[in-house]
Structure 1
């Protein structure tokens, strides 16, 4: 007798799982296309390809939950796609854009980003079936997620595209920054997830207005907007750590009581 998972494997991908898995594959192709643009020194399109891959990565899970098409296959494909689109592709783009000026050491920092992205996703996959996940149960993530890590790694590139200042392309700036982001991806720092964010009823119209203005800013001044978003995300990390510490204190108090 075959168990349910074995029967599912023999049947193949269900129709409901087709749409989210297609979006995941599209994110993978988009991320790799960014490398193609980088080889041609089209840095704006290279960065835009990774950002688009991040948008697609955010959609596939929501589509899967909406269609009830979640599957183990989809989870594995998503992780493989993330390693390539947000680990390998950004590492190659950074190397071609800046770090190749110091080939030996620059390549090490590029490798650090790709390896730490893979390690983060391996840790995530290994913990999928764990019942004890303190960060997840409180609505937080462990470390910086792969798409956000790719975006943060590109902060010097965004600033360079925005200002044209050559200092942001210097390997002495890009290399340590890439190392810092790589560390944040594999760290145990609690970071905000979508499920941990709550919008009060009294400010929901204002929130809609902010999102609409942000969309317009991304279209009219993309590199300035992306740079500011990266800085805002970094500034939010200490607050997420404090918020998670407060949750831990509340849990300890409830346990003692």
Structure 2
């Protein structure tokens, strides 16, 4: 008994349970849809429908670019969403392209084929882990290494274009298989370089632009509808090479090429930021 003292807890009243944390629906719906795109791409490849696989990965790319923006616009960012996004990226842009390109062409090379697919898959995991580690210290205008969606677009864009043009692995033979091998290794290894790739994160859609920009966008849409596989593949080849162009240009100008803005204190992570 506490003689009615209001400042002392009542022994008969159970302690209040901590409030359970919920999960924001809207941004995670986009993330789950992107994950489904990667899963769908794998299933289509298992059934020999590689064009549908490529479309699945490209749809996952669009959805992946939207989930973070939706979370920021609706103020629904969360640690759960960040982890979910990374896991979705690993499936859609890491494991899925590696398995699809192996099933499409690399399996005919035997051990070198599955090793190339594994290099791509492991580099995607390393790239995502490094991105999460460096998230607060990197220059927002640039990615450190080729982003995993762009790497997936290089590999899947090549498969989509070859299928669209009627180049089949069984008919074309070695040149097509080794070209796929080269694209897979290039995309995978470029993900873990320190080469800066422009992120487009400083582009504001709220800012006014000259009229000619709208005209250019209209022309771009027309070009895309003319031949989607060729346009997609061409754009990502240019982007996949652009980082090395920026790197060389900065070297020639004597400017720093690192995209790390500051350093971290943990000695075991020091090498990640160079």
Q: Paired residue for 1:143?
A: 145
Q: CA RMSD in A?
A: 2.7
Q: CA deviation at 1:209?
A: 2.6
User: Is the alpha carbon distance of 1:238 and 1:50 closer, same or farther for their aligned partners in structure 2, counting shifts above 3 Å?
Assistant: same
Are 2:143 and 2:196, in contact at CA under 8 Å, matched by a contact in 1?
Answer: yes
Q: Paired residue for 2:21?
A: 11
Higher helix proportion: 1
For residues 112-170 of structure 1, the C-alpha deviation after alignment (integer angstroms, 9 at most, x for no partner) is 11111111111111223x4x43x33xx11100111111001224313313433437972
Matches within 5 A, 1:106-255: 106-128=113-135, 130=136, 132-133=137-138, 135-136=139-140, 139-165=141-167, 166=172, 170-196=176-202, 204-241=210-247, 248=255
- When normalised by structure 2's length, the TM-score is 0.76
| Greater displacement, 142-151 / 118-127 | 118-127
Does 1:73 pair with 2:80? yes
Q: CA deviation at 1:110?
A: 0.9
Q: CA deviation at 1:180?
A: 1.2
Q: Paired residue for 1:50?
A: 57
* Separation in structure 2 between the aligned mates of residue 162 and residue 205 of structure 1, nearest angstrom: 35
* Separation in structure 1 between the aligned mates of residue 208 and residue 82 of structure 2, nearest angstrom: 37
Query: Structure 1: any 5+ residue segments left out of the alignment?
Result: 1-6, 250-257
Are 2:154 and 2:236, in contact at CA under 8 Å, matched by a contact in 1?
Answer: yes
* Separation in structure 2 between the aligned mates of residue 187 and residue 104 of structure 1, nearest angstrom: 25
Are 2:145 and 2:190, in contact at CA under 8 Å, matched by a contact in 1?
Answer: yes
Partner of 2:212: helix, strand, or coil? helix
* Separation in structure 1 between the aligned mates of residue 215 and residue 204 of structure 2, nearest angstrom: 16
- When normalised by structure 1's length, the TM-score is 0.81
